[in-house]
Amino acid sequence: QVQLTETGGDSVEAGGSLTLSCATAKYTYYSNCLAWFRQVPGKDREGVASIHTGSGSTNYVDSVAGRFTISQDDAKNTINLQMNSLTPKDTAMYYCATITNYGMGCGSWNEATYWGKGTQVTVS
């Protein structure tokens, strides 16, 4: 069973920073595609950033490129999302997910396979 556990959500002021973490088991983490999504009520879930933990390749949605950084911590089987210059538009429930792994690259945003329960980020 795949388990993904998000932590780090909080309420912050606009312009502030926050780091989210997603912990999982080694067999899920190793050389796999992990990603962050976000969702606000009434809207579709949006892919934010992904990382292939084998190659280290990353991908970002345009709206967060340059502000958010996804990274991996191999010692903890964890991925992180460093979020800077936050705006109220970043307010959402943030979810960690696995994405179809094509070897050296990750599938598209609509190829998520397993989800965590989410962590709330509120920017005011």
pLDDT tens-digit series, residues 105-122: 899 999 999 999 999 999
Higher pLDDT, 3 or 103: 3
pLDDT tens-digit series, residues 25-64: 999 999 899 999 999 999 999 999 999 999 999 999 999 9
Q: Which DSSP helix (H) or strand (E) runs through 29? A: helix 26-29
Q: Tell whether the model's pLDDT for residue 104 goes beyond 90.
A: no
Contacts 24+ apart (CB under 8 A), 62-71: 63/89, 64/90, 70/35, 70/36
pLDDT of the residue at 103:
83
